[in-house]
Structures are given as C-alpha cells and as structure tokens.
C-alpha cells in the first residue's frame, strides 16, 4: 500500500472550507486574546466557527463531520456556561470527549480499510 492510499482523499472544496475554518479560528483566538475577551467569548467564537464550517460543508454537499459538530456544540455550551458562571469545569470534559472521538474515528477508519 502506497502513502497516497493511506491518506483519505478530500475534495478541493472541503480542503478550502477547512482552511477557511482554521484561518477564522486563528484570527478569532488572536482577537480574543488581544481584547482580553475571556473564556466565555472565546469558546462561543470557536464553537460558532466550528458549527458554521460544518453548515457550509453540508450546504455545499461536502458532508459535515460529526466530530466537529460535537466540538462546536460543546464549545458553545462551555461559552454559555462560562457567561452564566456555572460551577463546573467543562474543559476536562471537552478534552476527554475530543480524545474519545478521535480514537473512535481512527478505529472505524482502520476497520473499514483493512
């Protein structure tokens, strides 16, 4: 099996959407840090960007990615929880869920491509 066969092929549209999403992410994080917006606004922005990219992927028939939808929703929930000053720390939960999602994705990918 060659290296090219191991890397999943994606459309140019999907790659461009992903690049735009990452670009917006870095711009938002930079703005949030410069403006001292705090965790709540930071998480809301990141969640909004993640969800917007997935909506665009669905609209353009590229296919939304369930993992990034979950990350977006969790970031938005975390941002709202921060603004409401809820007494639980969402970051460890986000990290655990992200890790579980990545492991499941890798295992499924290997199971479907023996």
Q: Where are the domains of the chain?
A: 13-112
pTM for the model stands at 0.71
pLDDT tens sequence across 70-97: 889 988 988 898 888 877 776 787 778 8
Residues 7-45 pLDDT 10s? 444 688 889 999 999 999 999 999 999 999 999 999 999
Phi, psi of 10 (to 5 degrees): -125, 155
What mean pLDDT value characterizes the chain?
84
User: Which pLDDT does position 7 carry in this prediction?
Assistant: 40
Structure confidence at residue 44 (pLDDT): 96
């Amino acid at each position: 099996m060659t290296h090219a066969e191991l890397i999943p092929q994606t459309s140019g549209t999907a790659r461009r959407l992903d690049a735009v999403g990452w670009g917006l992410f870095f711009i938002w994080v930079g703005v949030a840090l410069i403006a001292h917006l705090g965790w709540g606004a930071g998480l809301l922005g990141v969640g909004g960007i993640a969800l917007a990219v997935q909506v665009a992927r669905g609209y353009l028939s590229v296919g939304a990615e369930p993992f990034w939808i979950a990350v977006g929703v969790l970031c938005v929930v975390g941002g709202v929880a921060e603004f409401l000053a809820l007494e639980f720390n969402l970051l460890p939960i986000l990290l655990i869920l992200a890790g579980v999602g990545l492991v499941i994705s890798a295992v499924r990918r290997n199971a479907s491509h023996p």
